[in-house]
Structure 1
Amino acid sequence: METIMVADAQPLYRAGLVATLHNHLAAADIREEADYAGVLRGLLAAPDTRMLSVDLDLPGMNALDGVRHLRRHQPDLKVVVVAWPQARRSILNALAAGAHGYVPKQFAAAEMAAGFRSVLAGQIYVPPMVCDLPSDARPDDMSPGHAELLTQRQREVLSLLSVGKSNKEIARSLQIAESTVKVHITAAFRLLGVHSRMAAVAALQRRSMSGDQPDLPGLSISA
């Protein structure tokens, strides 16, 4: 029996999410945790856990650092961030950190279940609202210090971009949605600390020539 873990510090919301998984995904083995230390202990006790639903504000998690830690040390675990979106940047940063999906807490139960179902099916879930939220990124927000965290999918998108492929052509080549291509490009720009396609390609080529490889397992499954 597959195990799913729900990690949220708020008991009522956690109970509601567990009920959603029971009712809409017919999930039977669901474990609950209220802090990040409990998540780590729970994963050691149940290494076959398939998916983790986690709030970025979980005590002890340190937000995205916790997501990166999980992806490095639990490469087979599907990590879904469930949080209140503060901005488009928050969603993109979570995906750039390696989350397999971002499910907004204000979603109705059926919408949340659809997001979880997509992740369990091997896809990366990007909420449709990401296209409607305003971008609040500023030049000062860009930093070249996180280029090593590029996911495999982001590298694939940038590689196709470097040979002049359009977003539509990239989507067709990778068999993903064009909106997902845009999400990966935006996330990659942030990690590389660049503002344009040409600058991103140049940064990727420099890393390739230096032999630098990303240390994050990467999200290689299409959305």
Structure 2
Amino acid sequence: MKKRILLVDDHGIVRSGLRSLIEQEDDLSVTGEAASGMEALQLVRKQEFDIAILDISMPDKNGVDTLRDLQHIRPELAVLILSGYAQEQYALNLIRAGCRGYLSKDSAPEEIIKAIRTICNGRRYLSPELADLLASELTRPSDKRMHETLSEREFQVFYKLASGKSPTEIASELFLSVKTVSTYRARVLEKMNLRTNADLTYYAIKNELIS
């Protein structure tokens, strides 16, 4: 039985290229496409998929939030992040948040197929680069960059603040109180040794977490 794949990317040309690549394989089939995080959530409520291939940067709901929501709706659904951002920027945070693998979009086609098969078989896919990152985290935890010390929820709040969202907007999107968001903000600033939202934005741009 073919593994059912959901493609989630706001660029049609990327989805088309991935579909063409995947449909060459006898054991894999693209059975759904979404151009946004919201579309993806609607689809997984109606259809069964074995794996979702998810971008980070999308218009209405970014991949960080979409990953979290997918896990609430379909905890059994495996997620592979395929992003334009390099692995060292997001991979560790998103692996901790529950994705089964992370690849940059310039990965070789054979590696993308290998990652899909590995994840569909119930395992994590760690590229050599990501394996090195995880090994470094274990052997030299003090070498972590500041955003890598954040919990999953703290990282969500950090990402939204750095992107210019207000505490009220964040509270609405994450179904939290404004007071709780303010508490997370204070924790993020303390952990990252920063003082203002502008500092968070500068840090995110400097580390290529936002563009």
Partner of 1:85: 85
Shift in alpha-carbon separation, 1:24–1:85, aligned structure 2, 3 A? farther
Shift in alpha-carbon separation, 1:116–1:28, aligned structure 2, 3 A? closer
Q: Structure 1: 5+ residue runs without aligned partners?
A: 148-192, 194-223
Shift in alpha-carbon separation, 1:105–1:29, aligned structure 2, 3 A? closer
SS at match of 2:51: strand
Instruction: Point out which structure has higher relative CO (alpha carbons under 8 A, 6+ apart).
Output: 1
Indicate yes or no: 2:57 matched with 1:57. Answer: yes
Letter of the 2:8 counterpart: A
Structure 1 segment 105-144 matched on structure 2, within 5 A: 105-131=105-131, 137-139=144-146, 142-143=149-150
Superposed displacement of residue 71, structure 1: 1.3
TM-score (norm 1): 0.58
Shift in alpha-carbon separation, 1:83–1:25, aligned structure 2, 3 A? farther
Indicate yes or no: 2:100 matched with 1:74. Answer: no
Partner of 2:8: 7
- Indicate the percent of aligned positions where both proteins have the same amino acid: 24
CA contact (8 A) 1:68 1:97 kept: yes
Which string of whole-angstrom CA distances, capped at 9 and with x for unpartnered residues, describes residues 115-154 of structure 1? 111000110012212256798733576346859xxxxxxx
Letter of the 1:137 counterpart: K
CA contact (8 A) 2:78 2:119 kept: yes
CA contact (8 A) 2:41 2:69 kept: no
TM-score (norm 2): 0.61
Partner of 1:28: 29
Q: Structure 2: 5+ residue runs without aligned partners?
A: 138-142, 155-190, 192-211
Superposed displacement of residue 87, structure 1: 4.8
Letter of the 1:142 counterpart: T
Partner of 2:103: 103
CA contact (8 A) 1:84 1:106 kept: yes
Letter of the 2:44 counterpart: L
Superposed displacement of residue 114, structure 1: 0.4
SS at match of 1:30: strand
Shift in alpha-carbon separation, 1:25–1:58, aligned structure 2, 3 A? farther
Q: How far apart in 2 are the matches of 1:129 and 1:24?
A: 26
CA contact (8 A) 2:83 2:104 kept: yes
Q: How far apart in 2 are the matches of 1:144 and 1:52?
A: 23
Q: How far apart in 2 are the matches of 1:78 and 1:132?
A: 22
SS at match of 1:124: coil
Superposed displacement of residue 89, structure 1: 4.1
Q: How far apart in 2 are the matches of 1:145 and 1:96?
A: 7
Q: How far apart in 1 are the matches of 2:33 and 2:146?
A: 40
CA contact (8 A) 1:9 1:58 kept: yes
